[in-house]
Amino acid sequence: MKPVVVLMGVCGCGKTEIGRLLAARLGCDLLDGDDFHPPANVEKMRSGIPLTDADRWPWLDRLAAAITARLKEGSGAVVACSALARRYRDRLGIARPGVMLVHLAGDRDLLAARLAARQGHFMPPALLDSQLAALEPPALDEHALTIDVATAPPDIVGRIERAIDRGGEATRPASGATGHIHPAR
């Protein structure tokens, strides 16, 4: 059974790019959270308006259902989703058996530079600060693997793969958190 790996973090951290690389290496699909947003959410973000929890709940529920389907199939997936707050990760069901949480963390200046260089995305760079303000880094009991995105994407993918190969047990990152794939309960 392949795991479902959830890549979380603010805009510009590389969720989609790393997700594509990781999904290709694992032989599974990338489920990009951006594709699960209803048009009204996309329009709000495009206009520079941060989403409310009321906007997010249906979006997170669609993603949670997709994660559930992949777990039932055993096909695994890589899910790219901001999941900035604990309540959003709880709504996604990150603590379920077979799910691994990876927090892609980065310095504000690096993230801002990436967003300024990004073309054709609906998320404007102006929303970075609201995302950073909303970010609740994973708590120790969430067992997230935290990776600095200043590292090259192939290196990040390799680190995630090594954690999966160890049964999800991650080395202790600077934050002190450990990451693992939640075992069957």
pLDDT tens per residue across span 55-90: 999 999 999 999 999 999 999 999 999 999 999 999
d(CA 43, CA 20): 25
Q: Give me the torsion for CA of 100, 111, 29, 75, rounded to 10°.
A: 0
182 pLDDT tier (thresholds 50, 70, 90): very low
Tell me what the mean pLDDT of segment 153-173 comes to.
78
CATH domain 11-165 topology = Rossmann fold (3.40.50)
* Nearest-angstrom CA–CA distance, 159 and 80: 17
* Integer Cα distance of 21 and 43 in angstroms: 28
Between the CA atoms of 123, 5, 140 and 106, what dihedral angle is there, to the nearest 10 degrees?
-40
Give me the pLDDT at residue 168, please. Answer: 60
Task: Kindly report which listed range (35-39, 58-62, 66-70, 109-113) carries the lowest average pLDDT score.
Answer: 109-113
Report the pLDDT averaged over residues 99-122. Answer: 79
Q: Where is mean pLDDT largest: 10-19, 101-110, 137-146?
A: 137-146
* Virtual torsion, Cα 80, 22, 178, 13, nearest 10 deg: -50
Residue 178: the pLDDT is: 44
- Checking if the pLDDT of 173 tops 80, the result is no
Q: What is the pTM assigned to this prediction?
A: 0.84
What whole-number distance in Å separates Cα of residue 152 and Cα of residue 163?
A: 17
Structure tokens at 126: 């102006």
Cα→Cα distances 106→10, 11, 110, 166, 184, Å: 9, 10, 7, 25, 31
Q: In the predicted model, what is the mean pLDDT of residues 136-147?
A: 95
Mean pLDDT of 30-48: 88
